[in-house]
Each structure stands twice: as C-alpha cells, then as structure tokens.
Structure 1
Amino acid sequence: MNELKLTVQDVLQRKSFHCAKVIAGRTGLNRQVKWSHILETKDFESLINGGELILTTGVGLRLDRSTQLQYVKKLIEKEVAAICIEIGPHFSEIPIEIINLANENNFPIIAFEEVVKFVDITQDLHTHIINQHHEMLSQLDTLSRKFISLSLSHNGILKILQELHKRFQQNAIFIDKRLKPYYYPAESKEMIGDIHTLIEQELKNTHAQKIVSMHGHHYAFMPVQGLGQTWGYLCLQFSDPYAEDFLFLLLDRAALGIAQILLRNRTIEERKQNMEDELVRNLLNGRSCDEADLHTYLPTPSRNMYYRIFVIQLNVPDINMNEEDWEEIKLQRSMTIRALFKQNGFFPAVSVRRNEIAVIAFFLSTNQLSDETDRFTHIINEIIRVAKNNFSDENICTFGISTVYQNNLDVMTGYDEARKVLALQKKEITNNYFYENLGVYRLLLLLIESNYLETYVKEYLSPVINYDRETDSNLFETLTVYLECSGSKKETSERLFIVRQTLYHRLDRLETLLGKDFMKPPNRLAYEVAIKAYELLKNVSRTK
C-alpha cells in the first residue's frame, strides 16, 4: 500500500470490509479514496466532490432500471472512487445492466453480504485518511526545508534532483529554456529528447502542472516560474500509483528551490549588465561609444544580423522611492525583458528607466524575412499578460517599434521612430506598434517641424473649419466620414445617424465651399491628407 494514497484495494483489506465482495469494476480498484460518504438520495450532485467511497443501503436505488443506470452514470461522471451497497431488504441484487456499465468504466461496485455499521466504517476510514494527511504534511515540511537548504549549496539544482530520485527511485529531470538540461541519474540523459517532445506537444500552451503518459511510463511536469515567466520544467518519472496531490505539492517545493537558484544566478548576471545599460543609452542618444564596448555588449555585425528598437512606455505614476528600492525594481524589469526576448530568439541589449524600457533587439534573418513582425507581437502580448497579472491593468504599457536596421549608427534614428509611434498612440491617432505601419503619418511627422504643414491644412480645410465655427455646424465631421466611406452616401448617413436628405444638404454646402470636384481622385487624396494633418496638429497643440 502506498503510505500516502488510500485506494479501493487498500480499503478492501481493512477489517470492516471482511464481508465485502467486488461485484463489478475490478480493474478500477486502484482508484484513490479521498473520503467516505453515506448517500441515500438520488439527487446528490451538490453533495459529491469526487474521490469519495459511497456507502448506501440502496434506498436511493429503488428506482426503475433506466433511472438506476442514470444514477450510476452520475456517480461515474462525478469521479466517485467506488460504491458500496448493503444487500438486504432495500436492494436485493445488482442488475446485470449496472454491472456491465460499471465494468465498461472501471467503476468498482462492492456488495456487503451482511449487515454492517456504516458509522464504524466511516470512523475507521476518516481516521486513517486524516493520519495520512498529517503524515503527508510532516514529510512535505521536512522535504521543503531540505530543498531550501540544497538551493543554497553548490550545484543546487542537481542536488535537488538527487533528493527527488532518492525519494521516488525514479528519473528526475529539469529542462531549462535557456541553459543545458539537468538530470539524475546519469542514465536518464537518454530521456531528454522524449521530454523535450512532451513539453512541445503537451505543455506548449499551458503553464500548469500536468501528468503525461508515454511508452508505458508516467511523467509529472511542474513549471518552474519566476518574474511572471516560465523558465523551465521539472519532470519526474513514476510508474506506481501515487498520491497525486502530494506528488505535485512536493514537486512545487522542489520547483521553488530551483527557481530561487535561477533567480539568484540571473540577478548576479544582470548586475554585470550595468555597463550595457549605459552603452545602450549612449547609442539611443547618438553619443559616441568605445569600440571595445560595442564588441563586448552587442552581437558581431554580419550580413544576416538585423535589429529593431523596441521601446516600452510605462504609464505608472511617479512614486517616491529610495535609490536602493529603485535599483531592485530596475534589476527585475531588466531581467524579465531580457529573458523574454531571449526566449523568442533575440539578442537583446537593454536599458531601463523609471518610465521607459528600451531594447536594441538584434536577430538573425534572411533579407526576405527581416521585416517579419510576429515575434515582436508575441512579446508584446506576453508583456501585457505580465502587466495585467502584476498591476491588474493591461494598459499600463504602450509600445513603439522602429523599422529594421543593420548599421549600429542608425540606433538613434530607430529610437526616434519608436518614440514617434508612442507619441501617436498617446494621442490616440493610431493603435499600430510598428513605425512602418504608420502610413501617411510617417510623411506628416517629417513635415510637422516646419510651418508648411499648417499652411497646407489652412489652404484645404479653412473654408469648412471656419464655416463650422461661424454656424456651429459639423461639416468637417461630415467631410471626414464621407471620405472614409469612399463617397458612399448610404454608409455615410448611417455612420452619422442622419437621414439621406440631411446628408444631401450638407454635401451641397461642401461643394459650395470646396468646389464641385472635391471628390475627384487628386483632390480627394489632398483632402484626406489634410484631415490627417489637421488631427495631428490639433493633438500636438493640445499637448504643448
């Protein structure tokens, strides 16, 4: 008997079950019994949690055959461990249909051929289960202390795996997403390929614990997590039935010990990156950098090496904090972002400020695929997920990403592009993350520094804007929507929530102000650009 898992087979060996006989579902005797419950009603869904050993005199089964079958099906669906029926005046025999149903679902049905005291059975089983739980907590506390101690020792990850092997006499493996795998004993190295396959197939889209079977063996997986990310998976092979709750609690403590080791190692590694932060900031601001530092902190330039500037604006209020607290927060942000980019195949150089994180995200690619954006979008979604978990607000971050460059001399230009994207997002002019997707705004942003853009807007739109101001009308809105609807009068009137006759009157007024040919292709394009420029200028003046 597994000392921490009580099965139906174990229950049958107890003295109180000396007159019990297995009628059906013999192949399910390895089901775990978590509690016992006396059940004498047919409506029990809210009373059952799963894993119970049901004791009954059969009062609830004195029904027609179809209702009896439905009763047993409900027990199976609720994952009851087994049902024990006292054969007697209430229930004299078990129908063959119920026996067949139980056999098909490996659901044990046990008959008491003599009158038994259910109170004695429940007292015996509950005492045993409670003692098991007490023993489980005691062992868990002892092993947790052991794992913490091992996490502070040299080569701690391997020693934690050795402790797991000592406990279960089974292979223990840790797959790190960044580094080489750890395994114990040495023979388990042959399993690494299969474990990678299982992780890819079964755990790719989940961060939860899971038991997976392959080649007749069972593998318990526990994610090792830190800073809102999954850093790897702890895997334990096992073959004998085991108390699943205790198994995962134990693996959780071991995974916590491994996470502490990884966090400590990454913290040490990250503290060495302070020089990188300064280098990145110098490149972003166009300051000269030592050639040796460039070779130390940035990837070697090559024909297939590209980069984008990825800027995260943190929309958090300024909080007074001492320098020591800020350094700790800065370290955690840098570690989180660096790990995320590395997991997605980038070579990041990171600079962290209180309200901004800037990354020079280097990557290898062919010329044809260098403008691919999927990996960057995936990173944005992951950052939003982490921000939502940590701050309960997914809008705490905004993102701006430059076009693709190769020459390190273009870092400042890329940084300027990313910040322009952020500025347009802040003004709610665009929801695009990538500079190359800004369309006509790329051209307008270049012209905004001169007065020509303002002059252009006045030449094309001042008749409409002045008319609206003088008459308190909304011809400008009508013009904007009419152009967006490509001249469709039906769609325009629906979007403006006005009748067609009102729209016709407004269009006549626009023709009077702008000319009858304002919807001809060259003129239409000019007005569309002018409207975009007007929106941009209006937002710029609002923020000054």
Structure 2
Amino acid sequence: MLAERLKMGFSVEELLQAEELKDVKLISGERGLDREIKGVTIIEAPDIVKFIDGGEVLLTGLYAFRSCTVEEFKVYINELTRKSVSALILKRGRKVENADTKIHLLLEFSETHGIPILEVPFEFSFRDIMSLIMEHLFNEEVTRLKYFKTTYDNFAALALTPDSKGKGIENILDVLAKLIRNPVAVFNQNMSCLASTDGAGGELKIRKDAVPFEPGTYSNYTYLKQNGEVSQCVIQVKMSFREKIYLVVSEVNQPFNTMDSIAAESAITALRFEFSRQYAVTELEKKFQNDIMHNILNGKVHSIGELQKNTGLLGVEIDGCYRVIVFGMKNESSAKGDFKARVKDTNVLSTAIFAHISDAKIHNDLDKIVVIQKVQKDQTQEEYRREIKEVAEQVQAEVSAYNKYLKVKAGVGRLVEGIINLPESFKEAKEAFMFVDVAGEVSEDGNSRAMLFSDLGIFKLLCQLDDSSMMLEYVPEGLQKLYNYKKPQRDDLIITLKTYLDRNQNLSKTAQDLYVHYKTAAYRIEKITKITGIDFDNANEVLAVRIGLVVYKMIENYNKDFI
C-alpha cells in the first residue's frame, strides 16, 4: 500500500485527511481532489507565478494582491492556469481591496479548471502546512533544500516587485515574521531600528552574556543568542555600503530553529538587495538635491520660473522664512591631507545634523555641510540662539561618540524671507563660520561651537575684507611690532598679553592662568610694554589692542584650511 502511494504521489485529498488539518475546509473545486502535489509555496508577491514549476499548493491571504485592480487580478489567475497548480489554500482576515470580488473570481477559476480551494482559520500557520506537505514529499535534507528554494523564490519575487510606497524593508520583515511565527526587526550599526513587525520592540543592546550559536545550516553571518525578558536571536550581517546591520528575531511564540534560519537567510538576501537599491536611490536624490541647492545658494537661478521649478523639486516653499547654517569640523587626530578620513567624518556629521534639525535641507559642500533651515518668522533672536547652540551641542555629542577628536563648529546667517534671498544668508553664514575660532578665543568659555552673524557686532565690517594688508590697518602699530618680534619668547608674550587683558589686567590671576610665578608674569608685561609701547591705563588704546588681537586671528584663518 505504501509503495502504491509513493507511485501515485501525494494528492490534495490525502492532504485534507491529515489530522493536523482537521479545521481546513474545502470550499471549491471538489473534482480536483485527486491532483498530485509536487510542491508548496506562499504567494507574497504577484510575480511568484514566474518562480513556480507546476503542481504546487499555493498558500495566500490575498495580501500580495491587496492593491491590484480586479483586471490585474484576473491576469494573475490566468497565469496560474498555465502552471497547473494543485490547489490553493486561502486565509481570510487581512485588509484587501475588493476582497469579495477577488475571492469570487478565485472560486470561478476553481470550478472552471478543477483546482481545489481550501480555507484555513486566520490563526493557522502557513509554515505548518508547508512543513506537513514537505514531510510527505521529501526526507529531511531535501526538505531543507526545497524550503530554502521556496523561501528564496518568495523573497526574490518580493525584492524584484516595484515598491512605490517605500515599504520594501517592512514587506520583507512581514513575510519573514509570518514564516517563522515570531516578531522580527532590523537595526543599523548604530543600533537604531530601521523597521520592525508587531511585538518586536524598537531597541537593541547586545548583552555581555550573548553567546554564538550554530543555526544548523551553512551561513556567512554571525548568529548570537541572548536572554532577557524575551530571548532573542541576533544575526550580524556585514553590508557593502554600511558597516553592518542586525536582524533580530524575538522568540515570543516558539524557539528559533534551523528552518527559521533558512527563511532568515533568504530574507537577508532580499534585505541586502533592498538596502542597496535604497542607497542608490538616496545617493541619486542627494546629488540631484545638492545641485539644486548649490544653484540657489550661489544665486545662479536666473528667472522666477526656474526658481519655482527648483523649489518645487526641492520640496520647499518659495516664500518661506529661512536661515542658512554652515557646519564644519576639525579633526585634531588626523593628518591634514587624509582626504578619505575627512569624507567619512563629513558623512558622520551630515547624519548627526539630519537627526537633530527638523524642517531642513542638507547640502554637502566638500568638507562642509550647508543647511537650509525653515524657521518661524516671529521667533526671537534669543530663542533661536539658544536653539541652535543646543543643536550644536547635540551634534557635537553624537560626533564625539564616533570620534572624540572631532570638533564641530557652525556659522549661522540671518533670517531671510523667500528662497530668492538665501544667497545673502549663505554669505553671512560662511563669514560667521570663519569667525567661530576667533570667537572661541575671545569668549568666556573659549569653546564657542555656533556663531550667529548678527552677533558679530563691529567684526561684521572686518568680515567684508579679504585682503590681509587691509586688515592690518586695524591692528595698532605697537601690536604689529610684538607679532614681528623674532625672538623665541614671542609666542609666550602674545599669550600673556591675551590672558592679561582677559583678566582685566590682574597680574595675580594672569599668573595663575598661565601656571607661572607672579614675577614671571610681571616681567613679561613689562617686556610687552617695552616692545609695543602700549599704555594699559588708556582704555581706548586697550580696546584697539583687543580688536587687533582678533584681527590677527582672522588673518591666520584666512591663510589656512578652516576645518
């Protein structure tokens, strides 16, 4: 009898007689119950028809056809006829457009071609049906191979299906969660959740007691098991354009097993393809956006029509209120000519800015990041100053977590109304950016990260100069003599002068700040007076010296790379 069954093959009627499927109902196509079952697959994308060989039992909740029209659905049904499938197993409950009409068409298709349609309760697992069918068809090793091909084809069809709604990653995770009957989530290398299914949670922390484990099948990825409120399987995946991603399975319903790893491996292949696709699209959009922003910021838009077109493509309001911010960094640990390191650092900066500035468009300008930020017209200067300095601190903290030697600085232009006036704010932002280091030296904390152009005061006039010889006209003659002093102690004298003025000409505090003896500080001031002829009792002359020190710092900045 057993030999006869093997010869005749496994039929749909025998499948219905299985104890595990006692709740399954035949709703159409009774005359096709003797059809031989040669395989089984899940319809999670309409194009799955291209990947089947014929004789399969197809499992569907119609979710793959949720958005297609009735006419498109008829085309898919006709494709099934050519492949001569054995049966369809239907699960209702998911929201599908024109569901009743589509089910009616399936029933007509079933009766016309003698293909049975079976209905299972919504809570029933498709994977259990797949396992049951495969156990009848193959031994354990072949079952795994067939299951791999089945899942691979499903995910391949899903990955190749056009995704106009940007839900590619979510769709892949949704299919995987249904196959393994556990919630799943994917995280980037910073442990930020990129997508998840219900019950997966949005946080990931690799525990110290996490242990490697073998999934029972060949893999290029690292598997970890860790215990917590819910046991998790964490799969580390190296990517080509990212350092890594983590696919996390939470063992809410059942332990993660070898069959689950086979499904996960196929899902990872689809995820890699989807991430690559998204990355390529994002890079193209960034390049396109960069070109538009470059033209607007540099006043290269020559007509209202062109301006309207560009703002439409950029997704900004032509009459909105905006500020331009120029961000940059200094890496105190890398070599000046290390271009690759600077590009990588700038990408980190761009990501941090994007996370902390809302209503903004970001433009990569070599080793600087230019931000067009939409702002409220009625926001006070003080409110905005606090806001941008807080943003600069948050960006600095995030960048420091990546590399403690990176120092962030930002220059901010004034508020302008209308995109047409952005070049003015951009010019001011660049000038404020150049002044940040100088401001750091003259500010009380010595560590100013953000500078508003409107806060520059008298130094706005100096920002208009780009000729060192003209700038020197604002430096007192006596101070020029100190900077031209050739002896080794010149730098010590300049630092002593700055400190002495910052400490309101208090020698005791000056000596404390410089960690020198009081007599040493007094000697240096006496030396400075002899070289420069400065009268420290003359308030106007002292003010001129203070301004001169700032001008010298500006000249230094004009003559070197600023980041």
TM-score by length of 1: 0.51
Name the residue aligned to 1:295: 312
1:529 to 539, 547, 553: 547
In the alignment, which residue of structure 1 is the partner of 2:413?
A: 403
Structure 2 residue runs without a partner (length 5+): 1-140, 211-223, 331-335, 442-446
Out of 475-484 and 158-167, give the one that drifted further.
Answer: 158-167
C-alpha distance in 2, partners of 1:149/1:366?
A: 52
Q: Call closer, same or farther: CA 1:366–1:275 in 2, change over 3 Å.
A: same
Q: Which string of whole-angstrom CA distances, capped at 9 and with x for unpartnered residues, describes residues 510-539 of structure 1?
A: 556667851565443332222222233355
Q: Does 1:414 align with 2:432?
A: no
Contact map agreement 2:500 2:510 (CA 8 A) in 1: yes
The answer to whether the 8 Å contact 2:325/2:371 transfers is: yes
User: Retained in 1: the 8 A contact 2:297–2:426?
Assistant: yes
Q: Which segments of 5 or more consecutive residues in structure 1 lack a partner in the other structure?
A: 1-133, 320-328
Structure 1 equivalent of residue 291 of structure 2:
278
Residue 410 of structure 1, CA deviation: 3.8
Supply the AA of the counterpart residue of 1:528: R
Q: Residue 435 of structure 2 contacts residue 451 of structure 2 at CA under 8 Å; is this kept in 1?
A: no
CA distance in 2, matches of 1:143, 1:380: 48
**Residue among 443, 452, 459 paired with 1:436:** 452
Residue 372 of structure 2 is aligned with which of 345, 352, 360?
A: 360
Structure 1 residue 223: Cα displacement = 9.2
Aligned-partner Cα distance in 2 for 1:353–1:343: 19
**How much is the aligned-residue C-alpha RMSD, in angstroms?**
5.6
Classify the secondary structure of the residue corresponding to 1:435: strand
Separation in 2, partners of 1:542, 1:157:
46
Name the SS for the 1:531 alignment partner. helix
C-alpha distance in 2 between matches for 1:256 and 1:152: 9
* Contact 2:225-2:231 at 8 Å conserved across structures: no
Encode CA deviations 1:391-413: one digit per residue, 9 max, x unaligned: xx965x96543235343234323
Instruction: Name the SS for the 1:299 alignment partner.
Output: coil
Per-residue deviation, residues 66-119 of structure 1 (Å, max 9, x unmatched): xxxxxxxxxxxxxxxxxxxxxxxxxxxxxxxxxxxxxxxxxxxxxxxxxxxxxx
Contact 1:313 / 1:357 at 8 angstroms: preserved in 2?
A: no
Q: Report how far residue 298 of structure 1 moved.
A: 3.8
Q: 1:247 to 1:340 in 2, by over 3 A?
A: farther
Give the CA deviation at 1:272: 4.6
Q: Match for 2:548: what amino acid?
A: A
Cα deviation digits, residues 239-259 of structure 1 (max 9, x gap): 356369998998687466435
Percent identity, aligned pairs only, is 15
Where 2:500 maps in the other structure, the secondary structure is helix
Determine if contact 1:218/1:238 at 8 Å carries over to the other structure.
Answer: yes
Residues 310, 358 of structure 1: 8 Å contact kept: yes
Deviation readout 1:183-216 (Å, 9 max, x if unpaired) = 4xxxx5xx5xxx6xx53xx55999x9997877xx
Deviation at 1:281, TM superposition (A): 1.0
Instruction: Note closer, same or farther for the CA distance 1:245–1:376 as it changes in structure 2 (3 Å cut).
Output: farther
Q: Structure 2 residue aligned with 1:378, among 386, 391, 394?
A: 394
Q: What is the rounded CA distance, in whole Å, between the counterparts of 2:242 and 2:557 in structure 1?
A: 36
CA–CA separation in structure 1 for the residues paired with 2:473 and 2:329: 32
**Structure 2 CA distance, aligned partners of 1:493 and 1:335?**
43
Q: How much does 1:502 deviate?
A: 3.8
8 Å Cα contact 1:306/1:370 also seen in 2: no
Matched, 1:493 2:498: no
Whether contact under 8 Å (1:457, 1:530) holds in the other structure is yes
Could you say if the C-alpha distance between residues 357 and 498 of structure 1 is closer, same or farther in structure 2, counting changes exceeding 3 Å?
Answer: closer
Equivalent residues of 2:152, 2:267 under 8 A apart: no
Post-superposition shift, 1:459?
3.6
Trace 1:279-358 onto structure 2 (pairs within 5 A): 279-289=292-302, 290=306, 291-300=308-317, 306-312=322-328, 342-344=354-356, 346-352=358-364, 355-358=367-370
For residue 461 of structure 1, give the secondary structure of its aligned residue in structure 2.
Answer: helix
- Tell me the equivalent position of 2:57: none
Mapped pair 1:239 → 2:252:
yes
Q: What SS does the corresponding residue of 1:486 show, helix, strand or coil?
A: coil
Aligned 8 A contact 1:224 1:259 in 2 = no
Give per-residue Cα distances to partners, 1:419-449, cap 9 Å, x unaligned: 4455567999766442328857555433555
Shift of 1:287: 1.8
The alignment partner of 2:325 has SS state of strand
Greater shift, 528-537 or 173-182, is seen at 173-182
The CA deviation string for residues 119-160 of structure 1, in whole angstroms up to 9 with x for no partner, is xxxxxxxxxxxxxxx99x999987995686356332654553
How far is the alpha carbon of 1:297 from its aligned partner?
1.0
Q: Matched residues in 2 for 1:459 and 1:230: separation?
A: 59
Instruction: Tell which deviates more after alignment, 414-423 or 526-535.
Output: 414-423
Structure 1 counterpart of 2:284, one-letter code: R
1:480: which partner in 2? 498
Distance change >3 Å, CA 341–CA 347, structure 1 → 2? farther
CA contact (8 A) 1:174 1:235 kept: yes
Q: Distance in 1 between matches of 2:226 and 2:513?
A: 54
| C-alpha distance in 1 between matches for 2:378 and 2:238 | 33
**Which digits, 9 at most, give the CA deviation of each residue in 1:279-331, with x for residues without a partner?**
2111222222512222331422566x544333447976569xxxxxxxxx99x
- The answer (yes or no) to whether the contact 2:326–2:371 under 8 Å persists in 1 is yes
Partner of 2:180: 168
Which region of structure 1 is more displaced relative to structure 2, 294-303 or 434-443? 434-443
Contact 1:222 1:252 in 2 (8 A): no
Cα offset, 1:457, TM superposition: 1.1
Aligned residue for 2:326, secondary structure, equals strand
Mapped to 1, the partners of 2:233 and 2:392 lie a distance apart of: 32
What SS is found at the alignment partner of 2:316? coil
TM-superposed CA distance for 1:483, in Å, is 1.6
Change (3 A) 1:455 1:170: closer
Distance 1:486 1:241, change over 3 A: farther
Q: Where do 1:174-189 residues align within 5 Å?
A: 183=197, 188=198
The aligned amino acid for 1:405 is L
Q: One-letter code of the match for 2:451? A: Y
The residue identity in structure 2 corresponding to 1:287 is: K
The superposition leaves residues 346-375 of structure 1 with CA deviations (integer Å, 9 ceiling, x where unpaired) of 344344455555343446797144441233
- Closer/same/farther in 2, CA of residues 293 and 426 from structure 1, 3 Å limit: same
Q: Structure 1, residues 146-180: CA drift from partner, whole Å, max 9, x if none?
A: 68635633265455335433443234567999999
Contact 1:306 1:362 in 2 (8 A): yes
More deviation in 235-244 or 273-282?
A: 235-244
SS in 1 for 2:290: helix
Following superposition, the deviation at residue 541 of structure 1 comes to 5.5
User: Alpha carbons of 1:534 and 1:265: their partners in 2 closer, same or farther (altered >3 Å)?
Assistant: closer
